[in-house]
Amino acid sequence: MSPLCPGWTPAAALVAVLVTGLSAFTRADPAPLPAASAKALPRWRGFNLLNKFHAEWRNGPFEEEDFRLIAELGFNFVRLPMDYRVWIVEGDPRRFDEKTLAEIDQAIEWGGRYGIHVCLNFHRAPGYSVATPPEPFSLWRDAEALNLCALHWAVFARRYRGIPNERLSFNLINEPPAPVDGPTYARVVRRLLDAIRAEDPDRLVICDGLAWGVFPCPDLEPLGVAQSGRGYAPFGISHYLAEWVDTANHRRPPAWPDLRVNAFLYGPVKAEYQSPLRLVGRFDAPGRLRIHVDQVSGRAQLRIWADDRLLGEHLFTPGPGEGEWKRIIYRPEWNIYQNEYDRSYTFDVDRPARELRLELTEGDWLTLREIGWRPGGDDAPEHIVHARGNAWGVKQDVVHFNPDDTEQPFRTERMFDREWLRTEYVEPWRDLKNRGVGVMIGEWGVYRRTPHAVALRWMRDNLENWRDADIGWALWEFRGPFGVLDSGRDDVEYEDFRGHRLDRKMLELLQAY
């Protein structure tokens, strides 16, 4: 197919000239890319490239070597998460830096040259970012922020008008946060679509799902866009010891598969997710229950029951200044304190019980690190159940306790395993796909601190699920602590590869799917 077609802008034509004029000198003609539409995305396989990910952290031109290696290794997709501040002039969101835009042009040209689809994403859009610092105004509430975001997407739509959808797509907003509901999100997306379609009516647009991209958004279905999910569950595996993660839950040594105990205990403010954490078994007296609380969102009342008896309670009131918390965390976007407590609370059990139950009867949520049960005196061994799951919006399962099982006294009816990933995080996207909406996983991966064997087992389960659902994916990232090159993992035997340190086992796993 000719890259030239009616309606191309001069910038898009320049990109086409570069593709057709230079590719013969760099490599053989790449295999044609599969057709792509909002109703049916290909099963792309590739990576996020972070060169313009953050104005302060990563801000430089893209590199041809990445495109060449990605194609050589058998992949056909890159997502470019970008910070709008890198292409504005002197902080003025209405002035655009042509030099930076030309670097994005170059990335699109390399995609065409090497047979790689390029997806442009606003990781930081005017008015919203999942990263720090927060934006000074809100895309979800402020008309001026929304107008600015629409202006920026209109500039990109005009610049790349006519480049075929099999080569280029737009991913509007990275990971809208959980407080944003479907109708609010759809209103924002509709405004951005109007700006894009006024310049390029047929451009393929992909929208991240709700709750930081985790779940599909039904309100977007009438708008003619594809949708993109995430593959970071459970967070305690994907982000173990990640320095930028606020909550302490990511510090638990990860295991996979694992007991299905979610760290989040929700209160009435999150009524749709609220459920008690029940420990069922033989709890002899005397004994002591220990609960290690990590983080608390707003005022919250925790109550502990032994069968039908109230065993104890504790009121958490995170705020400024000194308190029982270890660290103050204030979230200005929601005007709430979500302090880190990192503290254990104990409750004595003076009568035998068949069930110990934890409930948050007032407030938003808190997170648990572990629960310990110590029968007998202080010198007796403590049985510990780790709350490793850190998935948003997931209700608690029952935890069974058998004191006679010396190897694994705690078990859950269902485990954190491939089946859990499929049911909770793949089936909703498969259902959306079956309704005629294009679907992909725009980000997923494992930070370098997770033990490699655990990481590979978890990655394989995700890849098998997405293959079975015929859903494509893009690993975060190609080079760096989540990637296959130069990840800095301590427990990997690296291979020297084109001046990089290659994680061959991870690469071959990705290539297999």
Residue 496 makes CB contacts below 8 A (sequence gap 6+) with 502
Backbone angles phi, psi at 122, to 5 degrees: -90, 95
Asked if 97 and 235 sit in the same domain, the reply is yes
Asked if 152 and 220 sit in the same domain, the reply is yes
- Is position 505 within any domain? no
Q: Tens place of pLDDT for every residue, the chain, 513 residues?
A: 323 233 334 344 333 433 333 333 334 577 889 999 999 999 999 999 999 999 999 899 999 999 999 999 999 999 999 999 999 999 999 999 999 999 999 999 999 999 999 999 999 999 999 999 999 999 999 999 999 999 999 999 999 999 999 999 999 999 999 989 999 999 999 999 999 999 999 999 999 999 999 999 999 999 999 999 999 998 889 999 998 886 555 566 788 988 888 899 999 999 999 999 999 999 999 999 999 999 999 999 999 999 999 999 999 999 999 999 999 999 999 999 999 999 999 999 999 999 999 999 999 999 999 999 999 878 889 999 988 777 789 899 899 999 998 877 998 888 889 999 999 999 999 999 999 999 999 999 999 999 999 999 999 999 999 999 999 999 999 999 999 999 999 999 999 999 999 999 999 999 999
Q: What does the pLDDT read at residue 413?
A: 84
Q: How far is CA 446 from the centre of its chain?
A: 11
Q: What does the pLDDT read at residue 28?
A: 52
Asked if 207 and 309 sit in the same domain, the reply is no
Per-residue CA distances from 362 to 295, 298, 307, 316 (Å) = 15, 10, 20, 10
- Is position 336 within any domain? yes
Range of 32's domain?
10-241+437-457+473-478
Asked if 304 and 237 sit in the same domain, the reply is no
For residue 89, the domain's CATH number is 3.20.20.80
Asked if 352 and 442 sit in the same domain, the reply is no
Q: What does the pLDDT read at residue 3?
A: 31
Query: How far is the C-alpha of 24 from the C-alpha of 500, rounded, in Å?
Result: 26
- Is position 252 within any domain? no
Q: What does the pLDDT read at residue 153?
A: 98
- Is position 429 within any domain? no
Query: How far is the C-alpha of 67 from the C-alpha of 23, rounded, in Å?
Result: 13
Asked if 102 and 225 sit in the same domain, the reply is yes
Asked if 222 and 141 sit in the same domain, the reply is yes
Instruction: Please give the structure tokens belonging to residue 276.
Output: 């008690």
Q: How far is CA 387 from the centre of its chain?
A: 20
Closest by CA to 311, choosing from 287, 342, 281, is 287
Backbone angles phi, psi at 98, to 5 degrees: -65, -35
Asked if 129 and 225 sit in the same domain, the reply is yes
Asked if 400 and 447 sit in the same domain, the reply is no
Asked if 271 and 232 sit in the same domain, the reply is no
**What's the total number of domains in the chain?**
2
Instruction: Please give the structure tokens belonging to residue 293.
Output: 């609380």
Query: How far is the C-alpha of 326 from the C-alpha of 310, rounded, in Å?
Result: 28
Asked if 148 and 265 sit in the same domain, the reply is no
Q: Tens digit of pLDDT for each residue in 330-374?
A: 999 999 999 999 999 999 999 999 999 999 999 999 999 999 999
Asked if 374 and 450 sit in the same domain, the reply is no
- Is position 427 within any domain? no
- Is position 503 within any domain? no
- Is position 170 within any domain? yes
Global pTM value? 0.76
Q: What does the pLDDT read at residue 480?
A: 97
- Is position 311 within any domain? yes
Q: What does the pLDDT read at residue 26?
A: 38
Q: What does the pLDDT read at residue 251?
A: 63
